[in-house]
Amino acid sequence: MTCAVEVNIGASAEVVWSLLTDAKGFSRWNPTVNHIEGEIREGERLKIHVPGTSRIFTPRVSGVVPARRMIWSDGFTGIFKGVRTFMLNPRDDGTTDFSMEEKFSGLMFALVKGMLPDFGPIFEAYANNLKREAEGLGRAGGEANHGVH
């Protein structure tokens, strides 16, 4: 199963990246996360606390290309694995195309698939909250918004 979202953000890739890699400030703009323990950087294992569950997600950060891409992966190949890829594509007009995709796989995934929430609305909210926060920071930082909605 794959879930994905894309949105154009009226801020530079650097502004968007600063939000995506600020573990301490993550929950300020993203209500799908209570807090993150650890540093969002290459090779780190995070502890992500989310609302509504006592389960702690522990993805490893990899594939980091600053202001362009990173991957969070959790689980065990063949059993149950989730791989979330964040991509930033800066545009000539100063905006950034943001995309996030998560692929779930493994034998256990087939068994628990029906118990998982619909990730579509969750991903949409994630992207829209990131967009709102980044555009607010972009305006505060003197970047042009270019009227992107």
Evaluate whether 134 touches 86 at the Cβ level (below 8 Å): no
CA distance 45 to 5: 24
In a domain? residue 145 = no
The domain in which residue 112 lies consists of: 2-140
pLDDT by residue, tens only, the chain of 149 residues: 889 999 999 999 999 999 999 999 999 999 989 999 999 999 999 999 988 888 899 999 999 999 999 999 998 777 888 899 999 999 999 999 999 999 988 877 766 766 676 778 889 999 999 999 999 986 655 444 333 33
- Total residues found in the chain within this entry: 149
In a domain? residue 17 = yes
Evaluate whether 99 touches 124 at the Cβ level (below 8 Å): no
In a domain? residue 131 = yes
In a domain? residue 98 = yes
Q: What is the longest distance spanned by two Cα atoms in the chain?
A: 50
The torsion of the CA quartet 13, 28, 25, 91, rounded to 10 degrees, works out to: 0
CA distance 106 to 74: 12
In a domain? residue 148 = no
- What are the two backbone dihedrals, phi and then psi, of residue 94, each rounded to the nearest 5 degrees? 90, -5
In a domain? residue 146 = no
pTM of this prediction?
A: 0.85
For residue 114, what is the domain's CATH number?
3.30.530.20
In a domain? residue 147 = no
Domain count, the chain: 1
In a domain? residue 127 = yes
